[in-house]
Amino acid sequence: YVTIGANGVIYIDKKAVSRQELQARMANIHANNPSVSVVLQADEVVAFKEIVSVLDILTELGIKGLKIATANK
């Protein structure tokens, strides 16, 4: 899971990372598993542009298995 918290902090599997770390770690994961799927979830207060920014990083790396998680209320 890649998560964007309400405060805008990005997490990979619950570990906070910078955008640069996100790119580096996901590039490494993708290199080792080109068919990797990534689930992106974001708090409802996160601005859409922040979500798109993270999606851009993932798609630029060539990750094709992107999924967006939604929360049922």
Cα–Cα distance, 25 to 19 (Å, whole number): 10
22 to each of 38, 71, 72, how far by Cα in Å?
Answer: 12, 23, 27
pTM here is 0.88
Could you report the per-residue pLDDT of 27-67, keeping only the tens digit for each?
999 999 999 999 999 998 999 999 999 999 999 999 999 99
Confidence band for 72, pLDDT divided at 50, 70 and 90: low
Under DSSP, is residue 28 helix (H, G, I), strand (E, B) or coil?
A: helix
Q: Residues in the chain, how many? A: 73
The answer for residues whose C-beta is within 8 angstroms of residue 6's C-beta and 6 or more apart is 43, 45, 46
Could you report the per-residue pLDDT of 2-23, keeping only the tens digit for each?
999 999 999 999 999 999 999 9
